[in-house]
Amino acid sequence: MDSWPVIVALPMVLTLIMFGLGLALTTGDFTRVVRYPRAVVVALGCQLVVLPALAFGLVVAVGLSAELAVGVMLLMASPGGATANLLSHLFRGDVALNVTLTAVNSVLSVITMPLVTNFALGFFEPPGADGIGLQFGKVAQVFALVLIPVVAGMVTRRLRPGFADRMDRPVRVVSVAFLAVVTLAALVAERDNVLDYLAAVGLVVALLCVMSSSVGYFVPKAFGVTSTQAVACSMEVGIHNSALAMTIAISVLGDIRMAVPAGVYGIVMLPIAYLAGTVISRRIRRAEKPLAAAGAARE
């Protein structure tokens, strides 16, 4: 794969995205875990264990090609990001919990993504995959791609908080625009096969979007977290960093076919997440009406 916009620009876009994430984080976002222990543990359990298991079962059942199957597993193992925080705010979720989950999950992903990816490579055995697993050197690349820009953003926020506040929105806007362009370039690079890929993986990715959001909401609710926390968990578990998945697939593993699920996800994720947030919000409002009426009657 010799498309320079993808090879060169995608790591740069990811660096910008992760730097922008760091601009919005403080050390308090990590220590806040003690305030939401149940919600954090349950949400991370869904993200790190349940989603990869669901993705594995689905790609095996559907019979995806080895490269696309690895790409789906890689995508489902990737953490959330700023989009989850934005949608959580829109649908009245606990945004502070979102930020905490994003912060913790971004750090854990340096370990969990290589584990999931190596498992997928070993199980599905895509052609030419011998020796392309995420060994120590490539894990170091993931570490550099994920954590160094985040730490740089956090340091910038600590030293120049005013600058960080001013740059937060512009960095997000530019990141989204660049990611859209690079995703399009990746799909164009595989234009001869893109329709086959869309037909093969489009339904799987859409189903996983719905399943992720549902798991992220109903499992925490079953463990007794509040409605606002459940909305936050749904957005965090249901939305993934497609730029990170694409960068690892192309720049670290060297196979653009493994990046196709993340590219397709970038197209279908937002409308599905918005629909999920709308359905969940209506469900919460319906549940709140009898409680509000009972309270008014007592008064």
Domain CATH code at residue 242: 1.20.1530.20
Output the pLDDT for position 152: 87
Q: Supply the range of the domain harboring residue 188.
A: 4-298
Do 17 and 175 contact (CB within 8 A), yes or no?
Answer: yes
Side chain identity at residue 203, one-letter code: L
Output the pLDDT for position 146: 72
Tell me which residues of the chain have a pLDDT lower than 50: 1-2, 131, 291-297
Do 230 and 40 contact (CB within 8 A), yes or no?
Answer: no
Output the pLDDT for position 298: 53
Closest Cα partner for 284 from 238, 236, 226, 227? 227
Cβ neighbours of residue 39 under 8 Å, at least 6 residues apart? 94, 97, 220, 225, 229, 232, 233
Number of domains composing the chain: 1
Count Cβ atoms within 10 A of the Cβ of residue 184 and give its class: 0-12 exposed, 13-18 middle, 19 or more buried: middle
Size (the chain), residues: 299
Question: Helix, strand, or coil here: 255?
Answer: coil
Output the pLDDT for position 138: 61
Output the pLDDT for position 2: 47
Output the pLDDT for position 292: 46
Q: How far apart are the C-alpha atoms of 233 and 216, rounded to whole Å?
A: 5
DSSP string, 128-190: T-TT-S--HHHHHHHHHHHHHHHHHHHHHHHH-HHHHHHHHHHHHHHHHHHHHHHHHHHHHHT
Output the pLDDT for position 1: 44
Count Cβ atoms within 10 A of the Cβ of residue 224 and give its class: 0-12 exposed, 13-18 middle, 19 or more buried: exposed
Helix axes 4-23, 82-90, angle to 10 degrees: 50
Closest Cα partner for 171 from 5, 12, 1, 6? 12
Task: Report the first-to-last Cα separation within the chain, whole angstroms.
Answer: 69
User: Which residue, chain included where needed, has tokens 């916009």?
Assistant: 5
Output the pLDDT for position 44: 92
Q: How far apart are the C-alpha atoms of 84 and 232, rounded to whole Å?
A: 8
The Cβ of residue 266 has, within 10 Å, a number of other Cβ atoms equal to 24
For residue 262, the number of C-alpha atoms closer than 13 Å in the C-beta half-sphere is: 33
